[in-house]
């Protein structure tokens, strides 16, 4: 099978949940002998060496790799404002010029795909136009209920600049998202809860396709990688810029951490993630026994040295990819309910789940002191939810629409 994959963000390196989901699915499709024509948007500035290494990694898995830069400059801002009359901001930023689209159309026509998959909503305009002009079926991978997810981020945004950016992203987004789901042949939702929401809205051409995890080198944690000089009791791994992650961390440090430091004064906490703000760095520096590491290339040794992994996220949409990554460890895991939202109910049995600060602290201390058992057999069973079978099922649905 031949697929054009329209990813809303360049998927490598897979440094946050959305990229991880896209990259792991690319690996699965490659393993299933699918030819992939990848189209994406590069949102960050990479050094020439980092970009070259990323392209090498990607081009080992796809037959064609085309990406467009979304630069943070006046031209791109003006382009967004001009396109806002027709599209929400994050879609407007990815609308191709006539020359870019014409060139892409020629290449895709020669490639002659069996289907087009939109990996996320924000690159939809290019994929839908290709589908119409080439008379090919089109599908979408839903990472979130985007208009709800961005609204919660807007409500919790810590500064005016971010609020304005999120307001622009929300402008006309709800209608656009509904329109896209009505136009595609089918959608593949990451979350069981989100899928149920769309069903209640009368949009019933959806299927649950959980994230797939095949790259055990990057994601499966083993004892051999433990660095003895880096023992941490509690570890968090996730981006350090989205409002929901920051809200969860501030809740943990304001409500849970004082209980922990009172009952276990020598406890060591490690926070790892990308793009922390200056204010958050300063905040962590004032906390006793707390270490902040930003943009860690290989977090695996640090996670392997941990006793307890935490996910204090309290709002969001879709599913929390880092919770799945935690499932691929044999560590104690403590999470707020949002961290396991959208998963099969069986997942709850291997997490300690609570929104109560006292209980959250109690679970962390139990894990640090090895006072409850980890059912490794059950974890292995649950990991199978996130195997290659879900992608095989997705391909069968694509086949029916060829």
Tell me: do 50 and 176 sit in the same domain.
yes
Tell me: do 142 and 223 sit in the same domain.
no
Tell me: do 221 and 168 sit in the same domain.
no
Tell me: do 273 and 205 sit in the same domain.
no
The pLDDT, as a whole number, for residue 74 is 67
Q: Which residues 6+ apart lie within 8 Å of 100 measured at CB?
A: 68
The pLDDT, as a whole number, for residue 402 is 67
Tell me: do 70 and 202 sit in the same domain.
yes
Strand partners, 146: none
Counting residues of the chain whose pLDDT is more than 90, the rounded percentage is 56
Tell me: do 395 and 326 sit in the same domain.
no
User: CATH number of the domain that 207 lies in?
Assistant: 3.40.50.2000
Closest CA to 125 of 153, 169, 94, 89: 94
Does 344 score more than 90 pLDDT? no
Q: Which residues 6+ apart lie within 8 Å of 71 measured at CB?
A: none
**Pairing verdict, β 2-7 and 290-294:** unpaired
Tell me: do 227 and 319 sit in the same domain.
yes
Tell me: do 265 and 126 sit in the same domain.
no
Q: What is the pLDDT of residues 120-131, one digit of tens each?
A: 999 999 999 999
- The pTM (predicted TM-score) of the whole model is 0.85
Q: What is the pLDDT of residues 34-47, one digit of tens each?
A: 999 999 999 888 88
Closest CA to 271 of 219, 315, 306, 317: 306
201: burial class by Cβ within 10 Å (0-12, 13-18, 19+)? exposed
Q: What is the pLDDT of residues 89-110, one digit of tens each?
A: 899 989 998 999 999 999 999 9
370: burial class by Cβ within 10 Å (0-12, 13-18, 19+)? exposed
CA distance 237 to 294: 10
CA distance 270 to 303: 9
Does 81 score more than 80 pLDDT? no
Tell me: do 51 and 163 sit in the same domain.
yes
Number of domains the chain contains:
2
User: Domain range spanning residue 375?
Assistant: 216-385
Residue 380, CA distances (Å) to 20, 165, 367, 384 in order: 20, 41, 19, 7
Tell me: do 17 and 138 sit in the same domain.
yes
Tell me: do 96 and 207 sit in the same domain.
yes
Does 171 score more than 50 pLDDT? yes
Q: What is the pLDDT of residues 256-309, one digit of tens each?
A: 999 999 999 999 999 998 888 888 999 999 998 999 998 777 777 888 888 999
């Amino acid at each position: 099978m031949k697929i054009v994959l329209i990813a809303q963000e360049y998927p490598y390196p897979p440094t946050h949940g959305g990229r991880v989901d896209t990259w792991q699915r690319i690996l699965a499709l490659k393993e299933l002998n699918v030819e992939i024509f990848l189209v994406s948007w590069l949102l960050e500035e990479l050094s020439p060496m980092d970009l070259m290494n990323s392209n090498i990694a990607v081009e080992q898995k796809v037959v064609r790799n085309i990406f467009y830069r979304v630069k943070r400059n006046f031209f791109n801002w003006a382009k967004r404002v001009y396109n806002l009359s027709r599209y929400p901001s994050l879609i407007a930023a990815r609308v191709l010029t006539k020359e870019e689209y014409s060139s892409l159309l020629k290449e895709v026509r020669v490639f002659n795909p069996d289907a087009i998959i939109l990996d996320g909503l924000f690159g939809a305009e290019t994929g839908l136009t290709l589908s119409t002009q080439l008379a090919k079926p089109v599908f979408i991978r839903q990472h979130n209920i985007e208009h709800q997810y961005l609204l919660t981020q807007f409500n919790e945004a810590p500064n005016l600049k971010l609020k304005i950016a999120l307001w622009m992203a929300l402008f006309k987004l709800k209608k656009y998202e509904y329109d896209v789901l009505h136009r595609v042949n089918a959608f593949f939702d990451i979350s069981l809860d989100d899928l149920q929401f769309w069903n209640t809205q009368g949009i019933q051409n959806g299927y649950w396709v959980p994230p797939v995890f095949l790259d055990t080198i990057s994601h499966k944690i083993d004892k051999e990688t433990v660095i003895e000089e880096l023992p941490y009791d509690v570890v968090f791994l996730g981006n350090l810029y989205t409002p929901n992650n920051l809200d969860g961390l501030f809740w943990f440090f304001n409500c849970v951490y004082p209980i922990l430091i009172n009952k276990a004064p020598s406890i060591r906490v490690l926070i790892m993630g990308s793009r922390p703000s200056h204010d958050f760095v300063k905040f962590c520096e004032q906390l006793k026994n707390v270490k902040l590491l930003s943009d860690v290339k290989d977090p695996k040794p640090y996670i392997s040295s941990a006793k307890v992994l935490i996910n204090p996220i309290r709002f969001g949409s879709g599913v929390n990819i880092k919770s799945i990554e935690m499932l691929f460890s044999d560590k104690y895991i403590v999470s707020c309910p949002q961290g396991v939202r959208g998963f099969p109910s069986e997942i709850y049995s291997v997490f300690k789940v609570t929104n109560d600060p006292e209980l959250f602290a109690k679970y962390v201390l139990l894990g640090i002191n090895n006072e409850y058992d980890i059912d490794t057999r059950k974890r292995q069973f649950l990991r199978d939810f996130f195997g290659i079978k879900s992608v095989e099922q997705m391909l069968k649905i694509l086949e029916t629409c060829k």
